[in-house]
């Protein structure tokens, strides 16, 4: 049975807005993300973050070796995209329409390993359904003051199970539902 995991970079004040330069990963953190993606059994995306991540579908001449490694890992993994507005999705991706709960329960039952959830709005829906098994907050030492919060709704009761330092200034906090 697969484990559903929601993890994102987060500011000290709780925002996950990817557009800020403050979240530019150090080489150590970027390597961590490459290895994280390589180890996944797949990812479930909301429409907005999937459209952002489609950047990795095509090589760019300015990329370094680490960026090529990330793109290769991202392209290889199966993706499920939750959207009512998209009519099609890119390579190695499946569109999930109306019955989110049934689709995720089926993925959990049929897969092994970890399936990543990408996007706080999608994570909120899955939290409300009791389907997220683990939350990983990658805390950066910045205060944004605005943006999209990690928890898009009420925070569920959580229990801390691990904390790890990644690179020089990022702490990953791992929680499970209490």
pLDDT tens column, 107-158: 999 999 999 999 999 999 999 999 999 999 999 999 989 889 999 988 889 9
Q: Report which of 85, 159, 149, 158 is spatially closest to residue 123, judged by C-alpha positions.
A: 149
Q: Average per-residue pLDDT in the chain?
A: 93
Tell me the per-residue pLDDT of 35-71, one tens digit each, with 9 for 90 and over.
999 999 999 999 999 999 999 999 999 999 999 999 9
For residue 19, the model assigns a pLDDT of 67
Question: Is 3-177 assigned to CATH 3.40.430.10?
Answer: yes
Helix (H) or strand (E) holding 138: strand 134-139
Is 23 a residue whose pLDDT tops 90? no
Assign 21 to helix, strand or coil. helix
Q: What is this structure's pTM?
A: 0.93
Domain coordinates of the chain in residue numbers?
Answer: 3-177
Tell me the per-residue pLDDT of 91-119, one tens digit each, with 9 for 90 and over.
999 999 889 999 999 999 999 999 999 99
d(CA 135, CA 174): 6
Q: Which two tokens stand for residue 81?
A: 């995209």
């Amino acid at each position: 049975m697969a484990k559903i995991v929601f993890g994102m970079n987060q500011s000290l004040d709780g925002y996950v807005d990817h557009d800020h330069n403050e979240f530019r990963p150090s080489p150590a953190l970027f390597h961590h993300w490459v290895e994280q993606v390589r180890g996944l059994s797949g990812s479930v995306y909301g429409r907005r973050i999937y459209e952002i991540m489609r950047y990795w579908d095509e090589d760019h001449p300015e990329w370094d070796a680490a960026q090529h490694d990330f793109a290769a890992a991202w392209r290889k993994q199966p993706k499920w995209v939750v959207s009512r507005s998209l009519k099609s999705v890119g390579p190695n991706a499946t569109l999930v329409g109306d019955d989110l709960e049934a689709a995720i329960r089926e993925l959990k039952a049929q897969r092994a390993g970890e399936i990543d959830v990408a996007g706080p709005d999608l994570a909120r829906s899955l939290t409300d359904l009791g389907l997220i098994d683990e939350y990983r907050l990658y805390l950066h030492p910045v205060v944004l003051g605005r943006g999209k919060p990690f928890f898009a709704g009420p925070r569920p009761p959580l229990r801390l199970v691990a904390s790890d330092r990644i690179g020089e200034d990022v702490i990953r906090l791992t929680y499970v539902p209490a």
